[in-house]
Each structure stands twice: as C-alpha cells, then as structure tokens.
Amino acid sequence: MNLTSIELLDRLVGFPSVSDASNLDLVAFIGEYLMAHGVAYEVIPQPDGRNANIWATIGPRIDGGVVLSGHLDVVPVEGQPWTSDPFTLTPKGDRLYGRGACDMKGFDACVLAAVPAMVAADLKRPIHICLTADEEIRMDGARAVIERLGKDWTRPSVCIVGEPSRMKVVTGHKGYMRIDTHVRGHEVHSSNRYAGVSAIFVAARLVTWMEERDLKNKAEAEASGGAPYFDPGWTMLHVGTLSGGTAHNITALDCHFVTGIRVVPGDDGMRYLREYEDFVRREIEPAMKAVHPDAGVNITWRVGGEPLVREEDGEAERIARRLTGDNGIQVVPYGAEAGLFQAAGISTVICGPGDIAQAHQPDEWIEVSELTKCDAFLAGLIRECSL
Ligand SMILES: [Zn+2]
C-alpha cells in the first residue's frame, strides 16, 4: 500500500471534509493506512462527535520529537464557480485541482506518503504526525491535541506546520481574537424614545469605538514603522456583522455585532478586550441603566489563535532553513495552528507546499512540483532525525 503523494492527495480530496461536516470517514481511511504500515495512532474525537484528530508517533517513544502538523478540514465550495468537481482531484498540466489540494491536503498527502520511509528509517528522534479537524473555524482540534502533549504522549520540541508557503520558511503570523457584543436596550415607541434605550444607537457608539481603536493602531504603526514584515503592520480591529431592531418606530431592544481582531506578534489581544470592557462599563452602561435597569451590554470573547512570533535561534527555523535552503524572512497575514504549538513551548515554523493565494478559491490547485519539493523536504527531515 505504498502510494505517492499525488495518489494520496487524490484519495484525501475525495473526502469532502468541510469544517462543519463529519471527517470520520477520512480519519478512518488515514487510520487504516497507518495501520497497514504498522504505525500506532490515536484518534482524538472532537466534542461534536462528528469530527476527530489523529496523532501518530514513529520512532522512539522519547521527548524531543518533530511534529508534522496539518489540518484535515477544508472550506465550503457553495456559491463558488468551480469548473471541475471540487472533490475529485483533476490534473491539468502541472496543476492538480480540488478543494483542499493546496490548503492543506497537499501537505497531509506528502506526510502520509513519507510514512513507509519513516518506518524503514532508524529514527533516533521521533516524528509525530498530527492531523487535525476544525482548523478553519475554531482551531479546537489542535487545542485538543496539544493539551495531551507531555501527559499522555511524549513532548515534542519542534513543529513544522505545513500550511501553504511555497516551501518557504515562515516565522510569523498574526493571532486572532473574536468579541461578540450583545447590546440589550429597552423597547418603547419611538415617539417616546427618551423613555427607552436604543440598542442600535448604543451599538453604533461601540462599533465606532472599534474603528477608532483600529485607526489609532494604524496611526501609531505609520509613525513607528509597525510590526516588522507585516502588511498591514498593526493589530487590526474589524466589525464583520451587525443586526438589531424590529421596526422603524420602536427603540431597538437588541443589537448584536461581531468584532474580529488580528493581532500582530508582540501585541496582546487581551488588552483590546480590557480597554473595551472598561469603556463599556464606565462610559456606556451607566447611562443605559439610568433609563432602565435591564438595559446593558453583554460581551463574550474567545481567542481564535495565538500569533506566531519569530524565535531567537529557534530550532524549527534552523531545521527548515537547512532543508529548504531558504534564508529569507517571511511572515503571513493569515492565522494558523503554528501559534498554538509555539504557545505550548514547542519551537514552530510554517513550511508547506502550494501558494496561499490558491487557498479557499474556486478551482483551488497545487502544482505537482510543489508536492515534489515537499516530498524532498520530508526525506531530508527523516535523514536528520536518523542521525
Ligand atoms: Zn489551512
């Protein structure tokens, strides 16, 4: 059952593992493949019971291994003008088309294709395969796996996350944080509006706070140069959705809006939450409650992912540079699981086949030559881990 990375990519793309669908059939396929090569693995179910992650270790059961990390979920295809079946890998020239071909089943396929070589090698340092669910939405798959490192399993010291980077070594990405705001107003006929609290008027002030906070960061970054290599080089605040109110002549009882914050490495996403809470509790809520005690603002939040910060003399960077020959400094504007591994104390970089420009697009593709480069990278890694 030795398959090439292209043959494996063909199989993987055939599973429509969209983030909110089930990936259990894909996980079962990978499990059978690993078992066929005598590799023990563990399936870590997600709380939804419809998705799972895989963790496998090849080589000695000791600390200090290298994690190869990829995600199994893909983004939806609905509404996208595909010219071929997104879940059938379709070759045209040097390109292979299919949902996830680039982001990031291409890397997953290369890692699985390298399994027989990993098994045959005399590894002195373990290689761990980590394939996760739910990267595109919450990154909870990676969190569930990372929680168990050093407890149920040995603790690795290096992680290569194979997000598409054209096999360049990426040492930085932004973090992500989401804040949900629910403004609770007090409903009256608008002819009597001062006896009510308009959730929409309040939300408008809060949305403006978000924009002004973003503009303040922008102005500071433009004065200081901002976060090196990032474009834009500041932590950006953005309101993505807003809804509220029921009629033109009623003060709105409810208004909901969602803020996304892209945090540059070195900045602390939580400080925006603290400043925002402070503004709401001091300057907004008292006037609302003076009109009606039930009026107020609920704020909920979650950290979507930690930023990836360039490490001082990081081992992951050293290994990836040795194997790729790439000595440039690259950062990416998207979030990834790399920041979570790094936050767990594991030296981490991103290095994977394909170009992020093709990710999430209709007619997503990856070049065969990118898979070939990744195959060579993994062969080099196996050699390094056998020394
Ligand atoms: Zn991805």
Does 137 or 155 have the greater pLDDT score? 155
357: Cα separation from own chain's centroid: 16
- For residues 32-49, average pLDDT: 96
**Tens digits of residue pLDDT in 311-320:** 999 999 999 9
How many angstroms separate the alpha carbon of residue 91 from the centre of ligand 1?
21
Alpha helices, H only, 225-284: 270-279
pLDDT class of 256 with cuts at 50, 70, 90: very high
**Tens digits of residue pLDDT in 354-384:** 999 999 999 999 999 999 999 999 999 999 9
Whether residue 185 is predicted with pLDDT greater than 90 in this model: the reply is yes
pLDDT class of 247 with cuts at 50, 70, 90: very high
In CATH terms, the fold of domain 5-173+307-385 is Aminopeptidase (3.40.630)
**Tens digits of residue pLDDT in 46-76:** 999 999 999 999 999 999 999 999 999 999 9
Give CATH for domain 179-304.
3.30.70.360
How high is the pLDDT of residue 136? 87
How many angstroms separate the alpha carbon of residue 243 from the centre of ligand 1?
30
Whether residue 197 is predicted with pLDDT greater than 90 in this model: the reply is yes
Q: Is 63 a catalytic residue?
A: no
Q: How many residues does the chain have?
A: 387
| Candidate list 135, 187, 267, 364, residue with the active-site label | 135
pTM value > 0.95:
no
Q: Is 73 a catalytic residue?
A: yes
pLDDT class of 1 with cuts at 50, 70, 90: confident
Q: Which one-letter amino acid corresponds to residue 280?
A: V
**Tens digits of residue pLDDT in 98-107:** 999 999 999 9
Nearest to 98 by CA among 165, 39, 17: 17
How high is the pLDDT of residue 137? 86
How many angstroms separate the alpha carbon of residue 85 from the centre of ligand 1?
20
Cα–Cα distance list, 261 to 203, 219, 235, 269, 301 (Å): 17, 17, 7, 7, 11
Whether residue 36 is predicted with pLDDT greater than 90 in this model: the reply is yes
How high is the pLDDT of residue 375? 98
Do 179-304 and 5-173+307-385 have the same topology in CATH? no
Domain spans of the chain, in order of start: 5-173+307-385, 179-304
- For residues 164-192, average pLDDT: 97
Cα–Cα distance list, 244 to 193, 207, 288, 353 (Å): 16, 13, 17, 44
How high is the pLDDT of residue 93? 94
How many angstroms separate the alpha carbon of residue 102 from the centre of ligand 1?
8
How many angstroms separate the alpha carbon of residue 163 from the centre of ligand 1?
5
